[in-house]
Amino acid sequence: MGRMALDVSPYDAVLLVSFGGPEGPDDVLPFLENVTRGRGIPRERLEEVGEHYHLFGGRSPINDLTRELLTAVREDLSGAGIDLPVYWGNRNWAPFLPDAVQQMTDDGITRAACFVTSAYSSYSSCRQYREDLAAAVAAVPGAPRLDRLRQYFNHPGFVEPVVDATLAALAELPEVVREGAHLTFVTHSIPESMNEGSGRQGNAYVNQHRSVVAAVVDRVRQETGRRNPHELVYCSRSGPPHVPWLEPDVNDHLEALSRKEAPGVVLVPIGFVSDHMEVIYDLDTEALTTAAKLDLPAVRAATPGIDPRFVAVVRDLLLERAATERGEKPRRRAVGSLQAWWDLCGVGCCPNPLGDRPALGGVEA
C-alpha cells in the first residue's frame, strides 16, 4: 500500500539560495568586486583578501558545498515522496539568481519556496538576499512568485548537529584539559549598527546567536554532566577601522584565554552552515595557528554541512510554509529561548545601510 503524498501546494519548486564563491584564480577579484559593490572598498584591500583564496588554489569551497547540499536536498525530498524540482542560485557568483529564475520561468514554475543558506537575521545575512531575490524577479519577465522560507537559527535540525559536533570536538581534546575547556562560539562579525537594526526590534543578530549558544551549552551539559565556560566571539571583520564592528575577534579572544590560563578550547563555528572560507581560513588557518603559538590546545567543531538533520530542515520548512499558505496552523519547530521566527519580515527590518531597495518576503512587499 502506497504512502500518502505530502502536500506541498501551492509550491511547485524549491530554490536553494547561497552566497557563491570563486571557482578559480581568475574569478577571485571579480567575485570580491561583486560582494563589495557600492561599499567603496579599495582595490588593495580586495587583493589582500584575495590572497586568502589563493592559499586554497583561488577557489572557495562554498560552491562545492552548495552542490553537495543541493544533491542531498533533492534526495531527501524524493525519499519523502515529494516530487519537486530544486534549483540553485547565488548572490555573488555563478549560477547567479537571475539565471536560476530565468530557468524556472522557462520550465513553467509558478511559485517557489526559497531556502537561504544563512540562518540568522541581519542586513547582510537576510535582507540582502531578499533584495537580490526581488531584483532577480524584476529582471525576468513572467518570473514565478518567490517566497523566502523563515530563518532557522533555532530549528532543531540546525542546533542538534552543532551539539553533536561540539561533543565530538570536546572528545578530541586531551582528557586532562577537557573538563575545563572553553567553548568558543564563532560567527561572522558585522557592524554594530547593522546588529542594532536587525530584526523587528533590533539586536536580533546577536540575540539569536546567544539563544543558540545557550541551547547548545545546555545540551552539552546534559550529555557531559558539566557546564563548560563559553563565549560568543566574531571573525572576518572587513570594514574600515573607524566603524565599530562586533567584538571580540576570535584571535584576540584566544590570547585572552591564554592569559587566563584556560586549559583548552573548542572553536564552534555557530554562524555558518558549512565550511565556508570564513571557517577554513579564519578558523582552521588563522585561529588554530594563534592557538598553537599560545600553546593552547584547540579543536574546531564541524559545521552542519549535509548532516541529514540539517538537510531535512529544508523539507520541514517547506511543509510548514506550504501549510501556512493554505490557511492551516502547522507546528513551527524551535529550541531555546526564542520562538520560531516569522515568515514575513517587518517594515524596516534589517535596513539596507546604503538606502532602501525592493525586497521580497516582507510585509511591505
Q: Which of 69, 81, 91, 235 is nearest to 157 (CA)?
A: 69
- Residue 41: Cβ-neighbour burial (10 angstroms; 0-12, 13-18, 19+): middle
Contact by Cβ (8 Å): 7, 325: no
Nearest to 358 by CA among 131, 98, 122, 38: 131
Q: 156-300: same fold as 13-152+306-325?
A: yes
What are the boundaries of each domain within the chain? Answer: 13-152+306-325, 156-300
pTM over the 0.85 mark: yes
| H-run or E-run covering 66 | helix 62-79
DSSP secondary structure string, 177-246?
HHTT-EEEEEEE--BHHHHHTSSSSS-HHHHHHHHHHHHHHHHHHHHHSS---EEEEEE---S-TTS-B-
pLDDT in 10s for each residue of the chain, 365 residues: 445 679 999 999 999 999 999 999 999 999 999 988 877 778 888 888 899 999 999 999 999 999 999 999 999 999 999 999 999 999 999 999 999 999 999 999 999 999 999 999 999 999 999 999 999 999 999 999 999 999 999 999 999 999 999 999 999 999 999 999 999 999 999 999 999 999 999 999 999 999 999 999 999 999 999 999 999 999 999 877 889 999 999 999 999 999 999 999 999 999 999 999 999 999 999 999 999 999 999 999 999 999 999 999 999 999 999 999 999 999 999 999 999 999 999 888 999 998 999 999 998 64
Name, in order, each residue with C-beta under 8 angstroms of 42's C-beta and a sequence gap of 6 or more: none
Task: Look up cell 540568522; give the residue.
Answer: 120
Overall fold of domain 156-300:
Rossmann fold (3.40.50)
13-152+306-325 CATH fold: Rossmann fold (3.40.50)
Q: How far apart are the first and last CA of the chain?
A: 44
Q: Which amino acid is at 175?
A: E
Q: What is the biggest distance separating any 2 CA atoms in the chain, rounded to whole angstroms?
A: 66
Angle between helices 156-172 and 204-224 (to 10 degrees): 50
